[in-house]
Chain A
Amino acid sequence: MTHTANPGAARIESNDRVRGGTLRSVEVGPARARVSPLDGGQTLRLALLLALPVIGVEQLVHTDRPTLAALPLYQALHWLSDTLLALPLAAVAVWGGQRLATRLRLGERTPPAIVGRACLIALLFALVLVPGTALHDAADRLTHVHVLFPTHSHVPLPSRAAPDGVTTLARFVTHALSDGFVGQVVGLPLMILMLAWEGRKPRPEDGAAPAKKEA
């Protein structure tokens, strides 16, 4: 995890046991820290602004128009609850995307760098939404939110042939991933805008090292 108490010399701890095998610390200088914005508040802000539209798009995709029109307050609350429940996943995507971008030496102010960062975050969010979909379905089952839709078989449901587990899993992952990417139609542009906005903000270290050109 990240400690940013000393912005001038961030101390990054990693528990990456694949390469190092043991907990190790990496000291980075001010310039490295500046392109690795791992501030918790910022992460949460970005995560919320990522989750809200992406979850909203997914809800729109999966809800027929009459249903949306029928119970608008219910739909809004559903959107809110899904967004809040997905916030940790979005935070992971933001944090992970930023960290990956830093490792890839992407800056945070030039348009290509911002787009690259945003793409990484969007990609990560789409990926984490795959297990997120399973969690979402579990939450729905627990709270019966969709119980009326798929299981009430007064409706002549089509018979479900029982495919093998691998096929079922593959279908689920494909579906969830596709949903995740669809959501990024809105999430990605917003993330680009947000990163550009965040990149324009003056940083504490900007006073010490103004106008330093990115590599």
Chain B
Amino acid sequence: MSTRRTFLQLGAAVGAGALVRWQLDPTGGLLFNASRVFASVQTPQTPLPGGGVRQFVEALPTFVGRRVDDSFIEVGMVAFQQATLPDRLYAGLPAPFNAGTYVWGYQVGDDTRPSWPGTTIEAQRGRATTIKYVNSLPLNPVLRTYLTIDQTIHWADPLRQMGSVSPYTGPIPTVVHLHGAEDPSAFDGAPEAWFTPDGRHGKGYSTLFATDRNAAVYHYHNDQQATTLWFHDHSLGMTRINVFSGLAAFYFIRDQFDTGEHDNSLRLPAGNQEVELLIQDRQFDTNGQLLFPDSAANPSLVDGPPGNPGVHPFWIPEFFGDVVVVNGRSWPYLDVEPRRYRFRIVNASNARFLRMGLADSTSGAVGPPIWQIGTDGGLLDRPVKLLGLPEQPATDPSPTTRLFLAPAERADVILDFRGLFGASLTLTNDAQVPFPSGSPLAASDPTRSVMQFRVNLPLSSQDTTYHPAGGAPLRGGPNQEPIIVRLADPASGQPAPGVEPSVTRQLVLFEAEGPTGQPLEDLINNTKWRGTRDRAGNPPDVPVPGSKPDQFGQGLWMTELPRVGSTEVWEFLNLTVDAHPIHIHLIQFQLINRQAVAIDPNTGAPTYTAAYASRFPGGAYAGVRPDGSWGLVNYPPGMIIPGYGPPTDYSKPNADGALGGNPAFSPFLLGPIIPPNPNEGGWKDTVKVFPGFVNRFVIRWAPQATPVGGVQPGQNLFSFDPTTGPGYVVHCHILDHEDNEMMRPYLPTL
């Protein structure tokens, strides 16, 4: 054999090797994408088109008569199968799929079965509830083989594999957050407080008293006003997966007025006429199993496959399903009497906004109005009428005639079915995905329907319940909660008289994108979860100037350290193209107003963005390089450095006198201030922060009922010490954002 031939053969081998290697490139190689299709930890799934699933064929599961109101409750997190899609669909499937969809859910108390959502807990105001949460998920749950857990995002990481390209295959970390509760941070479900079935703990783990290694005992004081709370998973970088899998449930706080009994002094509908609706969107495969997009083989319905596979191989920026699920059942129906019903609604979707109205199921004509009587933190002073009229897709926070809920927002509503016997009404949705930058929903989009009300039950008794059309107050009267303590005046869109914020913070919402323009991560004040500037480890990362380390050993750096008892104004300027529901733990707050900023007609971006960018000094920091890989990037001066934090020292006031380290917002404001929509004028813990707007919140670190002027900075009126423990968080409640850096820790101080 000749030497020439040998060399040619060697050259061919090297060429073939190089070709294979080239196409293994995770930033776009054909072989890389092809090999992912055969990933062994993923179960090959064929999407089930949501449009092919029959609607309104199964009854809505409710918790009427089954709610748990004990003062000590054990809540297990378990894996099981549940019929979510129509029963007929399961009947045609082979075992084990014919037994239902594999889900994870809460088993609340000893006498209930696990369910998705879990059985509602009813707590009494002023009476504490102690809950032992037990992570009883299997070590190798079936559902995990359907879920691709991306380990390249900053997440709980029980097996210390963070950064690995491999989908996670270890024990599932969980931790429970009681959303909207005034509670000690030790029991708030801090993202780092996770625990696994085999007893591994995160650095923020806390428990009331020593318990099983796979459990934590939380103690809720229930001092706040009667309202609709919900509890759900909150583990770091894993919330989107765990909530998607079913770990969510309602938690009502009752008081002496809103008792849930028929004889309640507010005369609100009760008993069978008080129904919780936990609304989510999901995607399924042809075996009736949950499908969470993760790859080119299973792309997101809206965003396609992961946009930056060289950095986050499986993470998608927002999950949008094509099946609407209410109380764990797809497009259910509810038989109702021709009378008033009270519905406690939460949008528990990962990312989908819901803009809902009622329409006649047959004619499509606009149905009766929705009367909103309560928000996240309790009853409104008076009901708000939402006509349900179809609107042009809103691209700004224009007043809405519909019930518009971002993920995690709740609404307490009354629907009046009197005089509609024989009618069927569809709860409709027309919010674009993502909101508002997405296209309007197509006429055939199955997510235009949420559920159906069939007014076909005979009237069991005369309806003497509260009539919202009468406009009678819900608060401030005899046998009612006092009127809302106003921190903001919803009529004028200004802080309420007597409210003197001690600090104003101006914070920027920013989206880092890869070279193809696909979202890489979203950031609050351009700061990552840890609060450090990322230099790819070389030289060591440095904390954002003006931040302080957390005292619980979680390795976090905090910038928001308000004094307990103080009142602050937080202004969020959203520089991204979509709305973000911002949720702040521990307290209920109020929306002051929103105000647009000037938009550059050439770029379509706020003019603030260029001014903001101009303040960045440049330097070598971690980021996405032009070829899509991750590493040190040399940023020139004047370019936004993702994860750098604000461009200047957080703690030094800007020209507006605001903390946050950003250029002042005021020179860029355009147009009038827009007061909150009428149905936003109550206590909120989650508010839609619209793009191109400054969205202003007034926040007071004190119990809701404290009168204006009734507390001073440094004075703690909570029945617990909120200045200790792992701390609280502020984050976007688009779960896919929350999981990937759009969350910051904070802690009240003395």
Residues from chain A with Cβ under 8 Å of B534 in the complex: 153-154
Looking at A22-30, A137-145, A184-192, the stretch in contact with chain B turns out to be A137-145
Whether the pair A69, B1 counts as a contact (CB closer than 8 A) is no
CB under 8 Å from chain B, chain A span 55-83: 64, 66-67, 69-74, 77-78, 80-83
Whether the pair B3, A144 counts as a contact (CB closer than 8 A) is no
The verdict on A148 contacting B163 (CB below 8 Å), with A85-B17, A157-B536 known, is yes
Looking at B184-192, B334-342, B364-372, B538-546, the stretch in contact with chain A turns out to be B538-546
| A31 CB–B CB distance under 8 Å | no
Whether the pair A159, B537 counts as a contact (CB closer than 8 A) is yes
Residue of A whose beta carbon sits closest to that of B530: A156
Residue of A whose beta carbon sits closest to that of B237: A154
Residues from chain A with Cβ under 8 Å of B164 in the complex: 64, 66-67, 148-149
How many B residues have CB within 8 A of the partner chain? Answer: 63
| B9 CB–A CB distance under 8 Å | yes
CB under 8 Å from chain B, chain A span 72-106: 72-74, 77-78, 80-88, 91
Looking at B26-34, B560-568, B675-683, the stretch in contact with chain A turns out to be B26-34
Residues from chain A with Cβ under 8 Å of B35 in the complex: 71, 73-74, 77
Whether the pair A144, B34 counts as a contact (CB closer than 8 A) is no
Residues from chain A with Cβ under 8 Å of B22 in the complex: 143
Residue of A whose beta carbon sits closest to that of B42: A70
Whether the pair A72, B537 counts as a contact (CB closer than 8 A) is no
Is chain B's interface secondary structure helix, strand, loop, or mixed overall? loop
| B153 CB–A CB distance under 8 Å | yes
Whether the pair B161, A66 counts as a contact (CB closer than 8 A) is yes
Whether the pair B630, A44 counts as a contact (CB closer than 8 A) is no
Residue of A whose beta carbon sits closest to that of B309: A148
Interface residue tally of chain A, by bracket? 35 or more
| B721 CB–A CB distance under 8 Å | no
Looking at A35-43, A108-116, A117-125, the stretch in contact with chain B turns out to be A35-43
Query: Considering residues A3, A41, A74, A80, which has the most beta carbons from chain B within 10 angstroms of its beta carbon?
Result: A74
Whether the pair A144, B26 counts as a contact (CB closer than 8 A) is yes
**CB within 8 A of A160: which of B2, B18, B537?**
B537
Residues from chain B with Cβ under 8 Å of A165 in the complex: none
| A152 CB–B CB distance under 8 Å | yes
**CB within 8 A of B17: which of A39, A69, A73, A82?**
A82
Whether the pair A44, B153 counts as a contact (CB closer than 8 A) is no
Give A152 to B31 CA distance when docked, in angstroms. 22
Give A144 to B538 CA distance when docked, in angstroms. 19
Whether the pair A88, B14 counts as a contact (CB closer than 8 A) is yes
The verdict on A148 contacting B152 (CB below 8 Å), with A66-B166, A70-B166, A70-B169 known, is yes
Whether the pair B25, A144 counts as a contact (CB closer than 8 A) is yes
| B21 CB–A CB distance under 8 Å | yes
Closest Cβ–Cβ distance, residue A65 to chain B (whole Å)? 9
Whether the pair A72, B38 counts as a contact (CB closer than 8 A) is yes
Closest Cβ–Cβ distance, residue B529 to chain A (whole Å)? 9
Query: Considering residues A64, A73, A78, A143, which has the most beta carbons from chain B within 10 angstroms of its beta carbon?
Result: A143
| A134 CB–B CB distance under 8 Å | no
Residue of A whose beta carbon sits closest to that of B25: A143
Closest Cβ–Cβ distance, residue A139 to chain B (whole Å)? 6
Give A162 to B530 CA distance when docked, in angstroms. 24
Give A162 to B36 CA distance when docked, in angstroms. 37
Query: Considering residues A66, A72, A155, A162, which has the most beta carbons from chain B within 10 angstroms of its beta carbon?
Result: A155
Closest Cβ–Cβ distance, residue B522 to chain A (whole Å)? 14
Closest Cβ–Cβ distance, residue A71 to chain B (whole Å)? 5
**CB within 8 A of A147: which of B2, B26, B40, B528?**
B26
Whether the pair B167, A70 counts as a contact (CB closer than 8 A) is yes
Residue of A whose beta carbon sits closest to that of B621: A153
Residues from chain A with Cβ under 8 Å of B536 in the complex: 151, 153, 157
| B93 CB–A CB distance under 8 Å | no
Residue of B whose beta carbon sits closest to that of A157: B537
Residues from chain A with Cβ under 8 Å of B535 in the complex: 153
| B302 CB–A CB distance under 8 Å | no
Give A85 to B13 CA distance when docked, in angstroms. 7
Give A85 to B15 CA distance when docked, in angstroms. 8
Give A125 to B627 CA distance when docked, in angstroms. 34
Closest Cβ–Cβ distance, residue B144 to chain A (whole Å)? 12
| A208 CB–B CB distance under 8 Å | no
Residues from chain B with Cβ under 8 Å of A85 in the complex: 14, 17-18, 21
Residues from chain B with Cβ under 8 Å of A80 in the complex: 17, 20
Residue of B whose beta carbon sits closest to that of A80: B20
Residues from chain A with Cβ under 8 Å of B64 in the complex: none
**CB within 8 A of B32: which of A66, A72, A74, A88?**
A74
Give A71 to B24 CA distance when docked, in angstroms. 12
| B501 CB–A CB distance under 8 Å | no
Give A145 to B629 CA distance when docked, in angstroms. 10
| A18 CB–B CB distance under 8 Å | no
Closest Cβ–Cβ distance, residue A184 to chain B (whole Å)? 21
| B16 CB–A CB distance under 8 Å | yes
Whether the pair B163, A66 counts as a contact (CB closer than 8 A) is no
Whether the pair B21, A152 counts as a contact (CB closer than 8 A) is no
Whether the pair A152, B169 counts as a contact (CB closer than 8 A) is no
| B142 CB–A CB distance under 8 Å | no
Q: Give per-residue flags for B296-320: 1 if the beta carbon is below 8 A from chain A beta carbons, else 0.
A: 0000000000000011010000000
Closest Cβ–Cβ distance, residue B139 to chain A (whole Å)? 14
Residue of A whose beta carbon sits closest to that of B632: A151
Residues from chain A with Cβ under 8 Å of B13 in the complex: 84, 87-88
The verdict on A148 contacting B310 (CB below 8 Å), with A40-B3, A44-B9, A69-B40 known, is yes
Residues from chain A with Cβ under 8 Å of B14 in the complex: 84-85, 87-88
Residue of B whose beta carbon sits closest to that of A145: B24
Residues from chain B with Cβ under 8 Å of A86 in the complex: 17
The verdict on A145 contacting B25 (CB below 8 Å), with A77-B35, A155-B163 known, is yes
Whether the pair A41, B6 counts as a contact (CB closer than 8 A) is yes
CB under 8 Å from chain A, chain B span 513-553: 528, 530, 534-541
The 6 closest A-B pairs by CB, nearest first: A84-B17, A157-B537, A40-B6, A159-B540, A74-B35, A155-B163
21 CB < 8 A contacts A-B: A2-B3, A40-B6, A69-B40, A71-B36, A71-B40, A81-B17, A85-B17, A85-B18, A87-B10, A87-B14, A91-B6, A139-B18, A145-B24, A147-B311, A148-B26, A148-B164, A148-B310, A151-B630, A151-B631, A152-B622, A155-B154
Residues of A within 8 A of B (CB): 1-3, 39-41, 43-44, 64, 66-67, 69-74, 77-78, 80-88, 91, 139, 143-145, 147-160, 162
Residues of B within 8 A of A (CB): 1-3, 5-6, 9-10, 13-14, 16-18, 20-22, 24-27, 29, 31-32, 34-36, 38-41, 152-154, 161-170, 310-311, 313, 528, 530, 534-541, 555, 622, 627-631, 741
A-B contact sample (9 more), CB < 8 A, given A66-B169, A84-B13:
A64-B161, A73-B38, A81-B24, A84-B18, A139-B18, A147-B27, A148-B163, A151-B631, A154-B741
